[in-house]
Amino acid sequence: QLLALPEGVVPNEAQDRDLFSLLSDYYLNPAEGKAQPVTADEEMDLMMV
């Protein structure tokens, strides 16, 4: 059972990578994010997570 699902293996890697890049952009560029209004596409991306 441990070998079937080893610790640290993430089955949905693509979604996690998207979320990580979204969070990275937010924390690395906080001033940019506040200066720009949130677009509908970005809002939908946040809702889907």
What are the sequence ranges of the domains in the chain? 13-48
| Residues in Cβ contact with 2 at an 8 Å cutoff, skipping those fewer than 6 apart | none
Instruction: In whole angstroms, give the CA distance from residue 7 to residue 21.
Output: 23
pLDDT of residue 19: 81
Write the pLDDT tens digit of every residue in 10-40: 555 557 778 888 888 887 876 554 545 556 6
Residue 2 has pLDDT above 50, yes or no: no
Residue 46 has pLDDT above 50, yes or no: yes
- Global confidence as pTM: 0.32
Using 50, 70 and 90 to split pLDDT, how confident is the model at 8? low
